[in-house]
Amino acid sequence: MEPIYLDYNATTPVDPRVAEAILPYLVGGLASGFGNPSSSHAYGRRAYLAVEEARSQVARILSCDAAEIVFTGAGSEADNLAIVGVAEVYRERGNHLITSQIEHPAVLNTCRYLEHRGYRVTYLPVDGECRVQVADVARAITPETILITVMHSNNETGTLQPIAEISTLARSRGILVHTDAAQSVGKLPTRVDDLGVDLLTMVGHKLYAPKGIGALYVRSGVRLEPLIHGAGHESGRRAGTENVPSIVGLGKACEIALSSLLKEGERLGALRDRLTRKLASSVPGLARNGHPSEHLPNTVNVSFPGVDGEELLAATPSVAASTGSACHAGRTEPSAVLMAMGLSRERALGAVRLSVGRFTTEAEVDQAAEALVASWRSLVERRS
C-alpha cells in the first residue's frame, strides 16, 4: 500500500480536473491549443485566449484585476521579481527592506543577495507562537525603507501573520508591502484589498496545479524592474513565451478552489483537529507549535517528546510527512523557524509537520495517528 500522504504543504497532487483542462494545450494536433500566444494566427489566438482566461481565474481568487497578474515559472521567481524588482526601481527613495526570520528561502536568500549589493535588510523576530509583532515592524521602519515582505502563512507551523495590520502601517509611511501567500491561496480567503498588499506571490503546486508555474499580483501603479529580459511578455514584466498548459492548469486550480473555499476550509480544519486530538490523547507531553487560532486550516506542527522527528518518520513508513518545509528536508539541524520561536533544541528536533489536503479522508487520519503513536511508543521503549 502507498503511504498515507500528509505533506500537502510540500506539494499537492494535480487535481484530475486540472489535468483534464491542461490536456488540450499539451497534446493534440492542429485543433489543439499548442500555438504561441504571441502569434497572430488562429493557433496563437487560441493559446492567447486560454492564457487570458487563466489570468482572469487567478485574479478572481485574489479579487483583483486580471491585468495585475504576472505569470512566473515558480513561486520562488515571483518572490525574486517582487523583492528585487521593487528594490531596483525604488532605490532612489531608499535602500532598506524589512522581512522576518521565518520566511521561505526564496525571500530570505533574495534579501541576502540584495545585502551583497548594498541594500540594508532588517530581519524581524517572531514570538513563541510564530507571529511577527506589528510593533516590531513599526520600530524597524526608517526613512530609507522601501519594502516590507512578510509571508502570509508560515509553511512549517501554519501560523498566519498580521498582514492587514502591517499593510495599514506601511501605507501610512508610503512603503510597499509584499507577502508570500503560497501556502494560503486556496485554503482561506486571500483578497488583496483585505490584506492591503501591493504584491502577492502564489504558486501552482501548492494548489493542485503543476509544478513550475507561479504568479505574482502587482497592484496597479507599482513599478518593477524585470528579472528576465527579452520580448515584451506579461506586459513587459517577465520575458519568455508563456507556459500555456501550466498557466491553464493554474487558472483551473484557482477556479476549483474558489468554488468551495469556505466549505473545504472547514473540512480540512476538522481533519486537522481530529488528527491533533488523536495524537494528543495517546502521546503524553505532545506539544503543538504555532499560534492556537491564527493558522492555516490544514496544518499542525507537533513535537513528540523523547524522540527525533526524522527518526519517528523513518520508523513510520506508512505515513508521508515532514519535519519542516520541503526545502529543509533531510537536515539534522533543527528547524530555523522553530528555533526563531524560542523553542528548545530538543523540542524543535522532535517536531513533525502534518498537513492534510483535498484527498485526505478521516480513515487516513485515524490510521496515520495510530501508526505515528505506535512508532513513538516503540522508540521511547527502546530508549528506556
Cell of 45: 489566438
Cell of 51: 492564457
What is the C-alpha separation between 338 and 356, in angstroms, rounded? 20
Predicted confidence at residue 242, as pLDDT, reads 95
Q: Is residue 31 very low, low, confident or very high in pLDDT (cuts 50, 70, 90)?
A: low
Task: Give the pLDDT confidence of 348-377 residue by residue, as tens digits.
Answer: 999 999 999 999 999 999 999 999 999 999
Picking from 235, 259, 283, the residue at the C-terminal end of a domain is: 259
Pairing outcome for strands 214-218 and 287-289: unpaired
The CATH code of the domain that includes 275 is 3.90.1150.10
Predicted confidence at residue 27, as pLDDT, reads 83
Q: What is the mean pLDDT of the chain?
A: 95
Mean pLDDT of 270-299: 98
DSSP 68: G
The CATH code of the domain that includes 85 is 3.40.640.10
Task: Give the pLDDT confidence of 268-284 residue by residue, as tens digits.
Answer: 999 999 999 999 999 99
183 and 326 assigned to the same domain: no
DSSP 315: T
Q: Is the pLDDT reported for residue 331 higher than 80?
A: no
End-to-end Cα distance, the chain: 32
156 and 195 assigned to the same domain: yes
Predicted confidence at residue 118, as pLDDT, reads 97
Q: Is residue 15 very low, low, confident or very high in pLDDT (cuts 50, 70, 90)?
A: very high
Predicted confidence at residue 324, as pLDDT, reads 64
Q: Is the pLDDT reported for residue 328 higher than 60?
A: no
Task: Give the pLDDT confidence of 51-83 residue by residue, as tens digits.
Answer: 999 999 999 999 999 999 999 999 999 999 999
Q: Could you tell me if 215 and 73 are in contact, meaning their C-beta atoms sit under 8 angstroms apart? A: no
Predicted confidence at residue 327, as pLDDT, reads 45
48 and 59 assigned to the same domain: yes
Predicted confidence at residue 333, as pLDDT, reads 84
135 and 248 assigned to the same domain: yes
* Candidates 64, 111, 130, 327; catalytic one: 327
135 and 245 assigned to the same domain: yes
Q: Is the pLDDT reported for residue 336 higher than 70?
A: yes
Predicted confidence at residue 325, as pLDDT, reads 44
Beta bridge partner(s), residue 217: 69, 200
Q: Is the pLDDT reported for residue 236 higher than 80?
A: yes
Show Cβ contacts of residue 75 under 8 Å, excluding neighbours closer than 6 positions: 104, 106, 180, 182, 201, 202, 203, 206, 214
What is the C-alpha separation between 169 and 156, in angstroms, rounded? 26
CA 313 to chain centre: 23
Is 64 designated active site? no
Overall domain count for the chain:
2
Mean pLDDT of 168-181: 98
State the residue range of the domain holding 334. 4-12+260-383
225 and 145 assigned to the same domain: yes
228 and 342 assigned to the same domain: no
What is the C-alpha separation between 13 and 352, in angstroms, rounded? 21
Q: Could you tell me if 199 and 82 are in contact, meaning their C-beta atoms sit under 8 angstroms apart? A: yes
Burial 94-120 (b: 16+ CB within 10 A, else e): bbbbbbbebbbebbbebbeebeeeebe
Mean pLDDT of 161-176: 98
Q: Is the pLDDT reported for residue 30 higher than 90?
A: no
What is the C-alpha separation between 349 and 308, in angstroms, rounded? 5
370 and 255 assigned to the same domain: no
Say whether pTM exceeds 0.85. Answer: yes
What is the C-alpha separation between 50 and 22, in angstroms, rounded? 10
Picking from 259, 292, 327, the residue at the C-terminal end of a domain is: 259
Residue where the block lists cell 515584451: 232
225 and 285 assigned to the same domain: no
Q: Could you tell me if 187 and 167 are in contact, meaning their C-beta atoms sit under 8 angstroms apart? A: no
Predicted confidence at residue 262, as pLDDT, reads 95
277 and 290 assigned to the same domain: yes
122 and 177 assigned to the same domain: yes
Task: Give the pLDDT confidence of 107-122 residue by residue, as tens digits.
Answer: 999 999 999 999 999 9
What is the C-alpha separation between 322 and 179, in angstroms, rounded? 24
Which of these ranges, 18-32, 209-223, 224-238, has the smallest mean pLDDT? 18-32
Closest residue by Cα to residue 204 from 195, 215, 193, 194: 215
292 and 173 assigned to the same domain: no
Show Cβ contacts of residue 60 under 8 Å, excluding neighbours closer than 6 positions: 254, 255, 258
Picking from 259, 282, 312, the residue at the C-terminal end of a domain is: 259
**Residues of the chain by 3-state class (helix, strand, coil), percent to 5:** 45, 15, 40
